[in-house]
Amino acid sequence: MKCRICDNFFYSETSFEDIFRFPSICEKCSLKYTINHYEETLPISNGTVTSHYIYNDIRMNAKQKDELKSNLESIWIKMIEKHDNKAIYLFMDDYLYETFESWFPFLKPFNNIHFMSLLRYDFDGFMNFF
């Protein structure tokens, strides 16, 4: 089989349990891309900005990000459990990060801002906006 993430071919033992359900990700990628939940909170003048992300210190190409984006569901479920009526929850990606300056002023009325993403985005450079 061919791994959806690294495009390498891999062999997988089949049993009666998974005879019609083939693995789509190799064992190496399964270990490398284990879902973790990282959280960083920055204080701002009227509240906090919290960044939630799954993978730390991993570089990914667009195809790998696309294959793994369904893992964002785990963060979304945690956000639903924590639900705060006064907060705003946004998915962050490369495009939103690059255009941050143009749309961030619209978030200023919110006291608590939560960004959810696959990878860690550095907000230190944007501290003058908060």
3 near Zn ion, rule: CB under 5 A: yes
| CA-wise closest residue to 91 among 68, 72, 110 | 72
Of 24-32, 35-43, 50-58, 111-119, the segment contacting Zn ion by CB under 5 A is 24-32
Plot region of 114 (φ>0 → left; ψ -120 to 50 → alpha; else → beta): beta
The tokens for 39 are 């959280």
Contact 12, 22 (CB under 8 A): yes
Instruction: For Zn ion, give the closer residue by CB, 29 or 68.
Output: 29
Is residue 29 at the binding interface for Zn ion, with CB under 5 A as the rule? yes
**Judged by CB under 5 A, does residue 68 bind Zn ion?**
no
Give the range of 5-13, 35-43, 69-77, 82-90 binding Zn ion by CB under 5 A. Answer: 5-13
DSSP notation for 43-91:
EETTEEEEEEEEESS----HHHHHHHGGGHHHHHHHHHHH--TTEEEEE
Shortest approach of Zn ion to residue 68 CB, angstroms? 11
Work out which of 1, 6, 91, 97 binds Zn ion, going by CB under 5 A: 6
Name the site residues for Zn ion (rule: CB under 5 A). 3, 5-6, 26, 29
